[in-house]
Homo-oligomer: A and B are copies of this chain.
């Protein structure tokens, strides 16, 4: 049997035909062109799915179901999108609209949850009884996988780990609260700290690397400068590692999963991030000597969205 996975983004709709082992056998994509009517975007999505199936040389009969990873919150029972801020969608009947074009079972879930599911099926956390996935990008997305199934909460608004409070009255967050974890653990956070550090310490290597314009600082510049031994960048990086370790330590205290998987832009730092992070998390352990969650870098990269979406049906309906 084959599955269709759709990674619905603000720029592109990426489609993949995925086999039972979680391998993508054919891909396609179409621009989202946000701002167009909902039904027109869904029609494009359907046409992209159908053309990708054709390109793969398979028939619609061979497709078991379709899964869509959405950048927001959905209702898994009705198949409705509840909120997708980036797409400007509120309460849109995605399943019903898609099924007008393709008569197949259709599932949806949050994109970070879907990526976490992909890692737990075909990636670094394959075989784990429980895992928590974190995307360290513009924000911090979260995916919780328990017993092989995605956990998005009773009302579908769970796994938003980026909005767990890490600092009372801390940095203002886009969600309206203050001090959310993603204000300290995202790429945006490391950029903010890097920018502040350059202004205070113009001799930092980061200044030249960002062409003497603090607005051009990126997460990569901070990490590259830290790797090269720039003390100012190292201070920013150490502070970031501390914040991320506190966030991960909270996940361990709360849910104690078998593995915590890091994805998103900042995770590309690999062992340069992982090694000090593990030491810092160990320092925060409540019970010294008891093994807790293994922390690993995600393996599937940008394919995780398609693979995890394709797996939604078989996991949810098990």
Contact = CB atoms under 8 A, between A and B. Distances in A.
B284 A177 contact: yes
A158 B253 CA distance: 5
A252 B255 CA distance: 13
Interface in A72-113: 73, 82-83
A257 interface: yes
A290 B155 contact: yes
A146 interface: yes
Contacts of A175: 286
A247 to B, nearest CB: 8
A141 to B, nearest CB: 12
How many chain A residues sit at the interface, stated as a range, is 35 or more
A278 to B, nearest CB: 15
Contact of A164 (B129, B154, B159, B253): B253
A165 B249 contact: yes
B130 A164 contact: no
If over half of A's interface residues share one DSSP class (helix, strand or loop), that class is named, otherwise mixed; here it is loop
Assembly stoichiometry (copies): 2
A254 B290 contact: no
Interface stretch (A59-67, A166-174, A201-209, A268-276): A166-174
B290 A157 contact: yes
A154 B293 contact: yes
Contact of A160 (B82, B83, B164, B253): B253
A230 to B, nearest CB: 24
Contacts of A254: 142, 144, 158-161, 164, 251, 254-255
A249 B155 contact: no
A255 B158 contact: yes
A167 B167 CA distance: 4
A250 interface: yes
A235 to B, nearest CB: 15
A286 B163 CA distance: 8
Contacts of A73: 287, 290
Contact of A154 (B129, B151, B176, B284): B129
Contacts of A158: 252-256
A256 B170 contact: no
A202 to B, nearest CB: 27
Most B Cβ at <10 Å: residue of A160, A243, A256, A293:
A256
Contacts of A255: 144, 151, 153, 158, 254-255
**Nearest 10 Cβ contacts at the A-B interface:** A153-B256, A158-B256, A154-B258, A164-B250, A160-B253, A163-B253, A165-B246, A167-B168, A175-B286, A157-B256
Interface of A: 73, 82-83, 129-130, 142, 144, 146, 151-168, 170, 175-177, 184, 243, 246-247, 249-258, 284, 286-287, 290-293
16 contacts: A154-B256, A154-B293, A155-B258, A157-B256, A157-B292, A158-B252, A158-B253, A158-B254, A161-B254, A163-B253, A165-B246, A165-B247, A166-B166, A167-B168, A177-B249, A254-B255
